Chains A and B, each alone.
Chain A
Amino acid sequence: MREKRKRFQFCKTRKGADNLAGYLFLLPSLAGFLGFIFLPMVFSLCLSFTKWSFISGLSGMEWKGLGNFAALFQDIKFVASLKNTFLYTIYTVPVALVLGFAVAVIIHDFTYGKTILKISIFLPYISSLVAISVVWKVILHPASGPVNQLLYRLGVENLPGWFGSSKWALPGIAIETIWIQIGYNVVLYMAGFTGINRELYDAASIDGCNAWQRIRYITIPGVAPTTFFLTIMALISSFKVFDQVSVITQGGPGDSTMVLAYYIYQKAFTYYDMGYASAMAWVLFAIILVITLIQWKFGNDDNAD
């Protein structure tokens, strides 16, 4: 009886009704958030301090404290995966960004048929990574793929071994990624250009600035927020690179393309070493968190103007 009255009061006021409605509308999303993000996160943090093979059941769980994290840096494969992930980031992010910007400027200011050019360059980005990776694997076939045949005709003597050599496999994957990423960067830069005041360009022309000066002093500062966003997003996604590696090389030859996300997957779902894999996942998270915090710190300055 008392409870019933309480509920009645809860709904009587506008505020009470809003509270109820708010939570009802939020309910499905909140359930998903708690079930698939929040609780798993807590669970995963706990797991990272244990040794636990999935097969041994809950009773086989063993507390290890910081043992997993200490073991990580003794693990040659993990160190290799960390190094490769950083290398891959250095190969892909700057090149895709600079090329994306250059192409966007040229398309925007100096060409006819902007839309069709933009769409063709964007096509790789929406294509399935699995299929695209399979295609690249054949295109970069060391002995008879079209790229190496072309290089051979051009007189290149030491043909790159691409996915068959530990020296060229990672650059091969990086080239594929750059190819995919350019279209995305072009589209975002072109959206960024619309935010720049056109009068600035007119004023600059009257003052006798040439095309390069206009780009240097108006366009580049004008799209700084876009550049910042793209850099952060590219950094984050390159630290999570998985599909290309899984389809093309599975981390090989040797450990030359072993990257963090793929090693985590292998440990967790091939060897069922859940505790160790969780510890690695938290290292990955820590790296991404640092990048995000940098964005947060500098991003706020950019948004001020």
Chain B
Amino acid sequence: MGKRKTIAIRTGFTVLIGLMALTMILPILWMISTSFKIEGEVFEFPIRWIPRTLDLENYAEAWNGSFDFPLYYLNTIKISVLSTILQVTVSAMAAYAFAKIKFRFSNIIFMVYLSTMMIPSQVTLIPCFMIFKEAGLMDTHLGLIILTSFSVYGVFLLKQSMGAISGELSEAAIIDGAGHFQIFTRIILPMSRPSLVTLAMLKFIWTWNDYMNPLIFLSTTNKFTLQLGMRSFSSEYGNQYGPTMAAAVLSIMPLMILFLVCQKNVIEGISIGAVKG
């Protein structure tokens, strides 16, 4: 096959898939474009991708309207950050125990952990709801953070990477009189940094986008997360598409920017989870 022909095929396919990639982000572009439009322009056809005037009214409406988006931002950031830190810490400690300490029943406990990985949250949510109601944790951020801070997946992911770390350094440290706490904090944690970052990224994205847990466990409007706010906004502003799209942009953009910055970690993390899962 001639080299020139290969280049032609390649360019052709690049254009083809490029067009498809464009179609994939078209709804997102449409959302952004509509968020700047006045109501009359929204459904104009053929679609006017760049609005006549860049109207910021819609954003003002979403930001200062009857739903307190600045507050939802704070709530979401608070819940996502705390529950990510908590989950990574708890998972790392458990992963260390499973991967590096020989203790009684560790294999059995790990098997039990794994066997519950497929349980749909619908099964556990109803009892959790009742437990939280009894414990007074309903409609609190604390309850939501605690609820989402445990995951079998996190333990599994970190155990895989900690298990791959060679034991030589730890053994040398034991001879020097180091305990498990020192080995954990000084040797194992720094060496498993890439997978800690991966888990943190994935968990942060999941919590930020989580809808079902906040829907069930939060009821007061001023405790809402961004996703709940978005949902309420769209049902109240139903037919005002401009402000609704502005609100959608507000709830998608922060994460999209974060993803574009850290895309390598996220994509690697998702692939690792699959290859080993």
Contacts and interface: CB of A to CB of B under 8 A. Distances in A.
A18 B180 CA distance: 9
Which of A26, A28, A285 has the most chain B CB atoms closer than 10 A to its own CB?
A26
A33 B241 CA distance: 43
Which of A35, A40, A131 has the most chain B CB atoms closer than 10 A to its own CB?
A131
Interface string B101-144: 11110100100110010111111111111110000000000000
A209 interface: no
Q: How large is the interface on A (under 10, 10 to 19, 20 to 34, 35 or more residues)?
A: 35 or more
Interface in A58-111: 103, 106-107, 110-111
Which of B24, B245, B255 has the most chain A CB atoms closer than 10 A to its own CB?
B24
Contacts of B16: 106
B73 to A, nearest CB: 13
Q: How large is the interface on B (under 10, 10 to 19, 20 to 34, 35 or more residues)?
A: 35 or more
B90 to A, nearest CB: 5
B96 A139 contact: no
B137 to A, nearest CB: 11
Contacts of B274: 188, 191, 226, 229-230, 233
A150 B20 CA distance: 17
A281 B244 contact: no
A124 interface: yes
Interface string B32-59: 0010000000010101000000000000
A278 interface: yes
Contact of B103 (A23, A107, A240): A23
A200 interface: no
A280 B129 CA distance: 16
Interface string A118-157: 1111111011111110111111010011100110010000
B178 interface: no
Which of A111, A129, A187 has the most chain B CB atoms closer than 10 A to its own CB?
A111
A144 B45 CA distance: 9
Contact of A179 (B27, B45, B47, B226): B27
Interface stretch (B163-171, B189-197, B262-270): B262-270
Interface of B: 9-11, 13-14, 16-18, 20-22, 24-25, 27-28, 30-31, 34, 43, 45, 47, 89-91, 93-94, 96-98, 101-104, 106, 109, 112-113, 116, 118-131, 146-147, 149-150, 152, 155, 179-180, 184, 205, 208-209, 211-212, 215-216, 226-227, 230-231, 234, 241, 244-245, 247-249, 251-252, 255-256, 259-260, 263, 266-267, 270-271, 274-275, 277
Given A128-B209, A131-B31, 6 more contacts: A29-B91, A103-B20, A111-B17, A135-B31, A268-B126, A281-B123
Interface of A: 15, 18-19, 21-23, 25-26, 28-30, 32-33, 35-41, 43-44, 47, 54, 103, 106-107, 110-113, 116-124, 126-132, 134-139, 141, 144-146, 149-150, 153, 179, 182-184, 187-188, 191-192, 195, 226, 229-230, 233, 236, 239-240, 242-243, 246-247, 260-261, 264-265, 268-269, 274, 277-278, 280-282, 284-285, 288-289, 292
